[in-house]
Structures are given as structure tokens and as C-alpha cells.
Amino acid sequence: MDISKILDEWPFDPLTVSARIIEGEDGLKKVQMRIDLGLIQMEYEGRPDGLRPSGYESYLDSYRAVAASEKDFTLDPRQSFNLRQEGMQYYHRYLSLHQLKDYRGVIRDTRHNLDILNFIANYANAVENMTSQQHRPYVMMMNTSAKIMLKLDENNKTEALSILKAGVRQIKNVYENVLDDPQPDLSPEIFQLRELQHRITDDGVPTELPPMEKLEIELQMALLSENYEEAASIRDQIARSSK
């Protein structure tokens, strides 16, 4: 079925995440994300694609069950691929839910992806582990940001700042001790949290970044999540804006 009419009624905005929640024909909530060439539709609960691998809610749960029953369990390449693909599905959903201010959903889905990274750290080979752990700071930042926003919704700035500072410390620790990066303060994740801190404390830092800086951060986020199609699109926008 041609979906041109749907896309025409929902224009794509390259400078923001466009998402919405609808009710599906089965009566269940669905999350939709508008992308440049179409849209992604995801289940609100469970795996975003609605599948139940081996009867479990996710590949993570399935492999956890196997690991619990096999003393010398290790992830083979196919299993590692399945976890990476599952993590990408959850990434699209928590990105959408963050835009929709569904912070509890963001916390749920980022927690799932952090659990995937923990599982890979325990059961994958060194190369797979290091490749996967590159994503940990971004997932931690999104998890921390959602927790902060929940506290701000409760008008609890003190607890929000406490969560923020703890998140910055944890991300720094990952950069320094896992990723061997001696300059974690230059990371886009810590930059984002610092900018949020300035907004909470109202110390004069603008609430909106200049468009070019915003694009540069979005580019880094796309590269960190291995979303190379999106990264290429953002690079084109930067190039056009620089002329």
C-alpha cells in the first residue's frame, strides 16, 4: 500500500525527532517515528517489533535463560548481532519517547539497553565487547536525562541535580576506565548534561543551542549509535548551512 498520503500529512523535520503515539487496530498503543524516507512503527510494550524470541519478551531475556542453564555459555556472533539489532530497536523507541516526554518509558528502554551492554560485557569476546561499550555513555546520558526530567516534573530541583551529578560521574568513569579516554569532559554526553544543569540552576546559559552546534551534537550522537544514514544526512545539513 502506498503510504505517500500518510507521509504528506506528517512532514519530516530533519532538525528534530518527530514521534507520536497512536492506537493500533489491535487496540494497543504504538509508537511511530517519522524518518526521512518513511516512518517506523513500534509496539509500546515489549520488543518494539512485537516478536517474542523463543517465547521470551526479548533476545536478552532468552539468552539470560540460556546463560543461567549453561555453565560455559558465551555469545556467538549471531547472538551478539541479535542483541545489537534489538538494542537499535529500543534506541529508536526511547528516542521517540524522550521527544514525547514519556520519561518512564525512556528509563525502561535505556535500562534494557544498559542490561544488554552488561550481558555482552560478561559473555562476548573482547572485540565485540569494546565495540558495543562505545554506546554506553550515550545510553547512560539518556537514562540520566529522563530521571532528571521526572524530578523536575515534581519540582524537585535538588534531587534532579543530585541525579545529574551522579550521572556525570558515572559517564566520566566509563570514558576513563572502559573507553580509555582521558578527556571525558569533551564528550557530547557530558556536554548535554552540563547544559541541562545550567538550565536547572538558571545561570544564564541559553536553553537552546545555536543551530550549528545542535547539528554537530546530533551528528556525534548518530555516530555513537552507528546510525550512519542519519549521520550522512546531518553532515549534508551542516555542509549546506556552512555555505
Residue 161's alpha-carbon distances to 19, 106, 107, 121, in angstroms, are 28, 19, 17, 30
Which 8-state DSSP code applies to residue 103?
H
67 φ/ψ angles, rounded to the nearest 5 degrees: -60, -35
Q: What is the tens place of the pLDDT at every residue in 133-165?
A: 999 999 999 999 999 999 999 999 999 999 999
Please name which of 104, 100, 110 lies closest in space to residue 30, comparing C-alpha atoms. 100
CA atoms within 13 A on the CB side of 45: 5
Q: What is the tens place of the pLDDT at every residue in 46-65?
A: 999 999 999 999 999 999 99
Query: pTM of the full predicted structure?
Result: 0.81
Please name which of 221, 228, 43 lies closest in space to residue 140, comparing C-alpha atoms. 221
Please name which of 191, 201, 200 lies closest in space to residue 168, comparing C-alpha atoms. 191
Under DSSP, is residue 38 helix (H, G, I), strand (E, B) or coil? strand
Q: What is the tens place of the pLDDT at every residue in 199-226?
A: 898 754 444 556 766 676 677 666 655 6
Contact (CB, 8 A) for 234 and 218: yes
Residue with cell 518513511: 38
The answer on pLDDT for 227 being more than 90 is no
In this prediction, residues 23-30 reach a mean pLDDT of 96
Q: Which triple of cell numbers denotes residue 48?
A: 518494539
Contact (CB, 8 A) for 125 and 133: no
Enclosing H/E stretch for 33: strand 29-35
